[in-house]
Amino acid sequence: MNFIDLFGIIPAIIFPAASVVQLIHLIRVKDSRGASVLSWGFFVLGNVSLFVYTKKYTAWQSIIGLLGTAVLQIGIIVLIIRYRKKETTSV
């Protein structure tokens, strides 16, 4: 592993961690106000597109940092939609 490869580790940690923080927040408060499905959808599209663009299909940094994060972000979208439906049915 060279110096440049170390920079691939940073997004492989930071991107999933940021998504996990949002997931935990949504699960704890069970409220999706302030969270945007469109924004998180764009993040998913961006991560998957970047994974394809970089062509590092076997690099664990790309798999975790981009595809793993996209999966977490899809989970965020699911929770946002679920909590929004819950809010509209309880009113």
Q: Which domains does the chain have, with CATH numbers?
A: 3-90 (1.20.1280)
For 26-84, write each residue's pLDDT tens digit: 999 999 999 999 999 999 999 999 999 999 999 999 999 999 999 999 999 999 999 99
Q: Count the neighbouring beta carbons within 10 Å of the beta carbon of residue 91.
A: 5
Q: How far is CA 69 from CA 30, 48, 63, 77, 89, in A?
A: 21, 9, 9, 12, 30
Tell me, yes or no, if the pTM score tops 0.85.
Answer: yes
